[in-house]
Amino acid sequence: MKVEIRKTVTEMVEMSLPMYVRNSAIHFYKIISEGEVIQVCQSKFGNNSITEVSVSIALHGNWEVSTEEEFETAFYKVSEYFKDKLS
């Protein structure tokens, strides 16, 4: 008999803050503290957002380290998108 078993690994890692990560082509995160993370969603389909999320959201899945410049560029573009919508 074959049985599929899924295992979860919990790991504590040390990180310098702020830390910038991304987990897709459209989701960028600035981790400020354990309880404060800014998420920027920059979508070509208009589903843009800037919101506060948990660290577990930012570090879920296949995330990779990003740069402050990349985060700030996405933040600026989404901010401009909302300015245009309001004017």
Indicate whether 74 belongs to any domain: yes
Q: Where are the alpha helices (DSSP H) in 14-67?
A: 55-58
Residues of the domain holding 36: 19-86
| DSSP single-letter state for residue 44 | T
Indicate whether 76 belongs to any domain: yes
Going from the first residue of the chain to its last (87 residues), give the mean pLDDT of each consecutive group of 10, the final group possibly shorter.
86 88 93 95 89 93 94 95 84
Q: Quote the number of domains for the chain.
A: 1
- What's the full length of the chain, in residues? 87
Please tell me the pTM assigned to this model: 0.82
Per-residue confidence (pLDDT) for residue 80, from 0 to 100: 92
